[in-house]
Chains A and B, each alone.
Chain A
């Protein structure tokens, strides 16, 4: 089981890196925001796996918060774009 968890953590770690690469590469703000969203999702996954690994269910609360609140930033960015804010790319 430990191996499975380790592998999954490595996979998700790589996923984090890839998402970050997209943040850097852009090219436009929406691309970056999407990558940020993905980043948050991967964090939820990592937290879930970590909860299993440590056998501490309290970590799930963090996952709930991300699941429930994480998309707010994206909505903020979208609102910015729709109100005519520059995409800055």
Chain B
């Protein structure tokens, strides 16, 4: 008979997890200019979900994630990563050559490095989350 968290931890997790996720996105997006980037952001996000896991257990966390299995996150992350590889081919530059596109109207640049970093983010998040979740899931199932 194990409690998956106390009232205080529940509340804290509910407040802290969105904060941490937000922070992770922040780290992701400005990583090109300041400390941060896909790895760090992905790890922070994974930490956020880990907190939630500790507080509420696996099935509640799955509910938060809705239909997205961590494994899907991994696959998506990897595909995002691969997606930044090939655009250069269309302009006859070597693979992975950074492509920068100005989004018209606003002062924002989309680029393959950004796509790549998002891929890194998702892959790191998915991988770490998958590991932690599986470990906890298995522990629960075992006598």
Do A and B have CB atoms closer than 8 angstroms in the complex?
yes
B29 contacts chain A at the CB level, 8 A cutoff: no
- Residue-wise interface mask of B (43-68) relative to A, using a CB-CB cutoff of 8 A (1 in contact, 0 not): 01001001100100000000000000
Chain B residues touching A, majority SS:
helix
Q: B51 and A72: CB pair below 8 A?
A: yes
Which of B16-24, B76-84, B103-111, B113-121 is found at the contact surface with chain A?
A: B16-24
Least Cβ distance of B6 to chain A in Å?
A: 9
Chain A residues touching B, majority SS:
helix
Least Cβ distance of B26 to chain A in Å?
A: 10
Q: Number of contact residues on A: which range applies?
A: 10 to 19
Q: Which residues of A contact B27 (CB under 8 A)?
A: 61
Q: State which of B9, B19, B20, B44 has its C-beta within 8 Å of the C-beta of A75.
A: B9
Q: Once bound together, how far apart are the Cα atoms of A64 and B23, in whole Å?
A: 9
28 A–B contacts from the bound complex (CB under 8 Å) = A58-B34, A58-B35, A61-B27, A61-B34, A61-B35, A62-B35, A64-B23, A65-B40, A65-B44, A68-B19, A68-B20, A68-B23, A68-B44, A69-B20, A69-B44, A69-B47, A72-B47, A72-B50, A72-B51, A72-B54, A75-B9, A75-B51, A75-B54, A79-B54, A82-B2, A82-B3, A83-B2, A84-B2
